[in-house]
A = this chain, B = another copy of it.
Amino acid sequence: MRKVAVLGIGQTKVSEHWDKSLKDLAGEAIQGALSDAGRTPIDGLFVGNMLSGSLNQQENLGVLITDWCGLTPAEALKIETACSSGGSAFRSGLIAVASGEMECVLVVGVEKMTDSRPADTTAALATAADADYETAHGLSFVALNALVMRRYLHDYGWQHTDFAPFSIIAHANAVTNPYARLSFPVTEQDYAQARMIAEPINLLDASPIGDGAAAVVLVPAEQANPRSTNGSSTRITIAASATATDTLAIHDRKDPTWLSAAYSSARKAYSQAGVAPQEIDFFELHDAFSIMSVLSLEACGFAERGQGPRLGLEGDIQITGRLPIATLGGLKARGHPVGATGVYQIVEVVQQLRGQAGSNQVEKARIGMAQNIGGSGATIVTHILKKE
Min CB–CB distance A33 → chain B (angstroms): 19
Q: Is A351 an interface residue (CB 8 A)?
A: no
Residues of B contacting A130 with CB < 8 Å? Answer: 23, 58, 64
Asked if residues A81 and B101 are in contact (CB atoms below 8 Å), the reply is no
Residues of B contacting A378 with CB < 8 Å? Answer: 60, 63, 67
Residues of B contacting A247 with CB < 8 Å? Answer: 67, 72
Contacts of A242-283 to chain B: CB distance below 8 A? 243-249, 252, 260-261, 264
Please state the number of chain copies in the assembly. Answer: 2
Max count, chain B CB within 10 A of own CB: residue among A21, A54, A246: A54
Contacts of A80-96 to chain B: CB distance below 8 A? 80-82, 88, 92, 95-96
Q: Which one, B52, B62, B135, B260, contacts A53 given CB within 8 A? A: B52
Interface of chain A, helix or strand or loop or mixed?
Answer: mixed
Contacts of A180-220 to chain B: CB distance below 8 A? none
A: number of interface residues (CB 8 Å): 63
Q: Which one, B75, B96, B131, B245, contacts A74 given CB within 8 A? A: B245
List, sorted by A's number, 30 A–B pairs whose CB atoms are closer than 8 Å: A1-B101, A50-B59, A52-B127, A53-B80, A54-B54, A57-B123, A58-B131, A59-B80, A60-B129, A60-B374, A60-B379, A61-B80, A62-B245, A67-B249, A67-B378, A72-B245, A72-B261, A73-B246, A75-B244, A76-B81, A77-B81, A77-B379, A78-B79, A78-B80, A79-B80, A92-B92, A95-B96, A95-B99, A98-B101, A99-B99
